[in-house]
Amino acid sequence: MALLDIRDLDLSIARGSELLPVVQGVSLTVEEDESLGIVGESGCGKSLTALAIMGLLEGSAVRIAGGSMHFQGQDLLALSPGERRRMMGDQMAMIFQEPMTSLNPVYRVGDQIMEAIIQHRGMSRKRARERALDLLDLVRIPDPIRRIDSFPHQMSGGQRQRVMIAMALACDPKLLIADEPTTALDVTVQKDVLELMLGLQRRTGMSIVLISHDLGVIAETCDKVAVMYRGRIVEQASTSELLSNMSHPYTLGLLGSIPALDHDVEWLDAIPGRVPTLDEVVPGCAFHPRCFAAEGSCRTVDPVAAAISPAHFVRCHFPQGSTT
């Protein structure tokens, strides 16, 4: 049984009386001790999918229009608020994109880490504080005994993101969702934070869902990859399979837009155009206006996901296959 099993998830945003689909038919599985990367441009539904898993869409304009989500065999959509609260922070946790605003500015960081420990583990304040010190040490915050009483604004972005990771790991969750955890950080700090997360994953055996717009980051860190475009998964495979046999033109485009570090590139191959807005109706394949391989049928017929090899799915009429 998969740790997290999402089937045909549909999310819609209510605008006036109409519902605009923002995520369509997303199916994902995450096994225990596995990391899944979700990659795509801004506005392709990556973060919304994460928010849906964590149950954070309540009170927003986005609603779950269809599909199912199971975590450890439990139906997430059928949980009562109380059951959901007991699960959050204990068995699943999330790290957010903005380290500058994801810590409460009026509390010392130690208190914020201790909160979940006290709530879920029923520890005394003293023991929770010891645990918080261990966690700060684990995420390699220098001098934890002094930093545990700092306020968030007294820390740098990288340190705050480490504190966020410590908070998320406080109760040894089974699943950690990281929504662009390194986007707001310097490149060097990015690398540190990613390595830290990976190391922790290997040590604790938790599963990670890493969301990023950077295919490079995902390729380096994740066991398998799902590429999303405009609310749909367009290609899904294990990382090694994807890298050796990249098939969707969009995935190739994402790869082409990563600057190489070992030699100078005059001009990056950016994907032309932009992601169509939600209310734009694109007949056929949603990617065809930007696709270099688009032909007649792409403009009229929406492709279905097809396996080009076991556990490698592509939603494209003309998968590029090993021609790259």
Mark the segment that binds another protein (CB under 8 A) among 26-34, 37-45, 123-131, 160-168.
160-168
Taking the complex as a whole, the smallest distance from the CB of residue 4 to another protein amounts, in Å, to 15
Question: Which one among 42, 104, 156, 309 touches another protein, defined by CB under 8 A?
Answer: 104
Per-residue H/E/C for the chain: CCCEEEEEEEEEEEECCEEEEEEEEEEEEECCCCEEEEECCCCCCHHHHHHHHHCCCCCCCEEEEEEEEEECCEEHHHCCHHHHHHHECCCEEEECCCCCCCCCCCCCHHHHHHHHHHHHHCCCHHHHHHHHHHHHHHCCCCCHHHHCCCCHHHCCHHHHHHHHHHHHHCCCCCEEEEECCCCCCCHHHHHHHHHHHHHHHHHHCCEEEEEECCHHHHHHHCCEEEEEECCEEEEEEEHHHHHHCCCCHHHHHHHHCCCCCCCCCCCCCCCCCCCCCCCCCCCCCCCHHHCCCCCHHHHCCCCCCEEEECCEEECCCCCCHHHC
Closer residue to another protein in complex, CB, 59/259:
59
Taking the complex as a whole, the smallest distance from the CB of residue 76 to another protein amounts, in Å, to 14
Angle between helices 109-121 and 125-138 (to 10 degrees): 120
Mark the segment that binds another protein (CB under 8 A) among 52-60, 69-77, 136-144, 228-236.
52-60
Which 177-236 positions form the footprint of another protein (CB under 8 A)?
Answer: none
Task: Based on the shown chain and the rule CB under 8 A, indicate whether residue 137 belongs to the binding site for another protein.
Answer: no
Task: Based on the shown chain and the rule CB under 8 A, indicate whether residue 146 belongs to the binding site for another protein.
Answer: no
Task: Based on the shown chain and the rule CB under 8 A, indicate whether residue 85 belongs to the binding site for another protein.
Answer: yes
Question: Which one among 20, 56, 258, 293 touches another protein, defined by CB under 8 A?
Answer: 56
Residue tagged 């918080």 (tokens): 132
Mark the segment that binds another protein (CB under 8 A) among 1-9, 22-30, 113-121, 277-285.
113-121
Question: Which one among 13, 38, 64, 103 touches another protein, defined by CB under 8 A?
Answer: 103
Alpha-carbon radius of gyration of the chain = 21
Task: Based on the shown chain and the rule CB under 8 A, indicate whether residue 71 belongs to the binding site for another protein.
Answer: no
Task: Based on the shown chain and the rule CB under 8 A, indicate whether residue 102 belongs to the binding site for another protein.
Answer: yes
Which 162-181 positions form the footprint of another protein (CB under 8 A)?
Answer: 164, 167-168, 170
Question: Which one among 27, 68, 119, 183 touches another protein, defined by CB under 8 A?
Answer: 119
Q: How many residues bind another protein (CB under 8 A)?
A: 37
Question: Which one among 96, 229, 250, 313 touches another protein, defined by CB under 8 A?
Answer: 96
Phi, psi of 7 (to 5 degrees): -125, 125
Closer residue to another protein in complex, CB, 111/192:
111
Question: Which one among 33, 41, 115, 302 touches another protein, defined by CB under 8 A?
Answer: 115
Closer residue to another protein in complex, CB, 169/237:
169
Residue 28 has, within 13 A of its CA and on its CB side, a CA count of 31
Mark the segment that binds another protein (CB under 8 A) among 5-13, 33-41, 131-139, 149-157.
149-157
Binding site for another protein (CB under 8 A): 54-56, 59, 81, 85-90, 92-94, 96-98, 101-107, 115-116, 119-120, 149-151, 153-154, 164, 167-168, 170
